[in-house]
Amino acid sequence: QVQLVQSGAEVKKPGASVKVSCKASGYTFTSYYMHWVRQAPGQGLEWMGIINPSGGSTSYAQKFQGRVTMTRDTSTSTVYMELSSLRSEDTAVYYCARGDVVTYGMDVWGQGTTVTVSS
Amino acid sequence: QAVVTQEPSLTVSPGGTVTLTCGSSTGAVTSGHYPYWFQQKPGQAPRTLIYDTSNKHSWTPARFSGSLLGGKAALTLSGAQPEDEAEYYCLLSYSGASTFGGGTKLTVL
């Protein structure tokens, strides 16, 4: 079955960077996009960006441009999301979610990774 | 960047019908925005209910349906069950960039 398994919780200090991984299984890794979405405590879902695992091309939400980098490793069917210059407002649960190549939206979601930014 | 709007909260009686809507600040929502609908319960990851306006996944209960209604995307729940109490989010695509609505908290009471 299709599964996305994310890395474990992280605690970071302001100004640091965090890199979250998402390992895919149960389907052809390069046949679907991968989104990253975050959710701050008590808030709604926020789209961060998308990566095409086939060629590695990316598109980021304007809010995160210059601070986020999405990469992939096709040999391990894993995508990564790195967010730099962390501030307290980046405290959130970060999700990866598989995306359709035609309609772009998500079908299967990872379990989420909690990132806490605190001094 | 476009703003996607949803009702902040709605209430439906058990067995009743309710429609949630999803609007765009850029104008009418069309099939070209590929509307999606997600359900999220506390402490859980979101679950995709509807994709590409009206298509259901194998896990989507039959009582949920999606459509375009009056220039918005719509999610209709017919025959609400207590387990449908949750937050519902829509997603619209704008030339490859995606934007979520603010979410609708649905209470079944």
Residues of chain B found within 8 Å of residue A4, distances taken between Cβ atoms: none
- Residue-wise pLDDT for B34-68, tens only, equals 999 999 999 999 999 999 999 999 999 999 999 99
Residue-averaged pLDDT of chain B = 97
User: Are the beta carbons of B52 and A105 separated by less than 8 Å?
Assistant: yes
State the Cα–Cα distance between residues B90 and B36, nearest whole angstrom: 5
Decide if pLDDT at A76 tops 80.
Answer: yes
Give yes or no for residue B28 having a pLDDT over 90: yes
Q: Do A47 and B100 touch (CB under 8 A)?
A: yes
- The pLDDT value recorded for residue A104 is 85
CB atoms within 10 A of CB B69: 14
Chain B residue closest in CA terms to A60: B97
Which pLDDT belongs to residue B60? 97
| Chain A residue with minimum CA distance to B104 | A44
Q: Supply the Cα-derived Rg of chain A in whole angstroms.
A: 13
Q: What is the distance in angstroms between the Cα of B32 and the nearest Cα belonging to chain A?
A: 9
Question: Is A110 in Cβ contact with B36 (below 8 Å)?
Answer: no
Q: Which residues of B touch A100 (CB under 8 A)?
A: 51
User: How far is it, in rounded angstroms, from Cα A28 to Cα A97?
Assistant: 15
Cβ burial of A8 (10 Å; 0-12, 13-18, 19+) is exposed
Whether A103 sits inside 8 A of B51 (CB atoms) is yes
Which pLDDT band, with edges at 50, 70 and 90, does B109 fall under? very high
pLDDT at position A102 is 87
Query: What is the average pLDDT value for chain A, to the nearest integer?
Result: 97
